[in-house]
Amino acid sequence: MSRRKKKEEEHDNSERWLLSYADFITLLMIFFVVMYAMSRMDQGKSTELKHSISAEFGAIFDDNGGEKPVDMGVETASEQPLVQANPQTGENEEGATLSEFEKEEQVKELIDEYIAENSLSDDITTSIETRGLVVSFNGSMFFESGEAEIKSEQIPSLVEVAKLLNQPFLQQSYIRVEGYTDNVPMKNEEYDSNWDLSVMRASNVAKAIIDQSGIDPTKVSAVGYGEYRPTGDNKTSEGRAQNRRVDILILNSEFNETEI
């Protein structure tokens, strides 16, 4: 009895390798199916997918609630080739309508060119977020400390950028002008708080781009967040300077209901 048991234990199944081989073939087939599906995916949808993944998962929040970008290995807008669109229709050379992200990407490229040509990279920045295209203006560039009137010498730069935003294929998009400040308490004869100041700065920028850039006023709103949505560290002078800003947001249509 013991000899028979020992003989059975020593039996070698020479066909077990077929299980591993079958698993390998299955995985290989799945890989090629996925690769084929990706090759057939619409380029615009593929770009939007990359953007959404980058925007949703490619940022962490600092102690003040501001976002810090994190490299997720996803191709960024600046690394992707610019898709040229007809300025009237928003269609590419093949007659296909560009995705919303591709339109935002093209306008961003135009503004970045203007910024580079006029050496304004320290004062104006652009980014594409989940909520839309954001053009951020350094507060000290446009305003004196504690004031909301736009410096007269800076109005031409604001107007030129706004004209670039006023593309025919984006004219159905809503525009939100957002004012922000640092957390240094302020109170003067005109404004009781940073909140009041941020609202008036946003309002004055909105009025300027409507009056001088031809932007439809029914598509524009102005809001102020004061010190309560910082992107920089208010404990440092650099961070406070970063927080003193006015953003012009071309809102993604996904959020249109928030403006209606």
Question: What pLDDT shows up at residue 21?
Answer: 79
Average pLDDT for residues 175-204, to the nearest whole number? 94
Determine the average pLDDT of the residues in 156-180. 93
What proportion of the chain, given as a percentage, has pLDDT over 90? 52
DSSP 215: -
From CA 168, how far away is CA 130, in angstroms rounded?
A: 22
Cα separation, 112 vs 110, in Å, equals 5
Q: Is the pLDDT of residue 124 over 90?
A: yes
**pLDDT score, position 188:** 87
Convert the pLDDT of each residue in 17-48 to its tens digit.
777 778 888 888 888 887 777 666 555 555 55
211, pLDDT greater than 90:
yes
Position 59 pLDDT exceeds 50: no
What is the pTM (predicted TM-score) of this model? 0.66
pLDDT at residue 192 greater than cutoff 70: yes
Rank 82-91, 139-148, 197-206 by mean pLDDT and report only the highest: 197-206
What's the pLDDT band for 96 if we cut at 50, 70, 90?
low
pLDDT of 140 higher than 60:
yes
Mean pLDDT of 77-89: 44
Q: Are strands 175-180 and 245-251 parallel, antiparallel or unpaired?
A: antiparallel
Reply yes or no on whether the pLDDT at 159 is more than 80: yes
pLDDT tier for residue 49 given thresholds of 50, 70 and 90: low
**Is the per-residue pLDDT at 99 higher than 80?**
yes
Q: Is residue 67 scored above 60 in pLDDT?
A: no
- For residue 195, pLDDT over 90 is answered with yes
14 pLDDT tier (thresholds 50, 70, 90): low
